Every structure is written in structure tokens, then in C-alpha cells.
Copies of this chain bind each other. A is one copy, B any other.
């Protein structure tokens, strides 16, 4: 293990913080010198998870969204955590095109995008306790 760094951020579940969350994670991950494509992949996956925490986790209530980010060598681990309503059926939630909020014009493609932009995505959720999305990516550019 040559390189290790770690951060944790918490912010209000307001939609303007979606862009802020992307900037924070991109700035932190930039220390590893990823390609622009790799940064964009990570920003997109973070954007999906943070948006879900805000609109599905907290719905119309205010709460705190948390992001943890750990860098070890060329490996990135990102957790997006909410203490919101939780996911009833994780298998269903992962399915492409499934959304519980079609009236908000959600596409149901959030998890599919996280999975294709990151190496691995884990979902941990408990009804009325909240949801944690763990995402992993190894930077090929610096392996």
C-alpha cells in the first residue's frame, strides 16, 4: 500500500447539492490522476446515488446525505448514505427502467448507470432506517 487517503462529507438533501457532491468527489479522486473519462464515470455514478438519496430516500423531507470516500493505491471506494425511507425490494430497484416515481419523470436507469460506470455496486437498505450505496472502481490508468 503506497497511497491512502480518506474523506467524509455530509450535506443537506437539497437538489443544488447534487452538483456540489460531484465537485467534491471529483476533486478528492483527482489526487490519483485519473483520466477525464474515469472522473466523469465517477461523477455520474455519484450524481445518481446522491439524487436517489434526495428524491427517494428523503422525498419531501430535509435530511443529511453522507458520502465517504477512501482511496487506496489505485482503488476508489465511495459510499453514499441516507437515513431516509429505505428500499422495499432491492432486486426490483436494480432492474433497468424500474422506478417508483414515474410521475417525476424518473427513468429507472440510475442503478443501471452506477453499475456500468463503476466496477461494482452494493446496496444495503432497511425500511425507515435508510440506504447505503457502496461503489468500487479501480483506475486502469494508474494500475
Residues in chain A within 8 A of chain B (CB atoms): 5-12, 14, 16-17, 20, 23-24, 27-28, 31
Contact = CB atoms under 8 A, between A and B. Distances in A.
Contacts of A17: 5, 7
A67 to B, nearest CB: 9
A97 to B, nearest CB: 33
B31 A27 contact: no
B5 A16 contact: yes
Given A6-B12, A23-B23, A27-B27, 12 more contacts: A5-B14, A6-B11, A7-B10, A7-B11, A7-B12, A7-B20, A8-B10, A9-B10, A11-B28, A16-B31, A20-B31, A24-B24
A20 B27 contact: yes
A9 B12 contact: no
Contacts of A24: 9, 23-24, 27
A9 B10 CA distance: 6
Contacts of A5: 11-12, 14, 16-17
Nearest to A9: B9
Contacts of A31: 16, 20
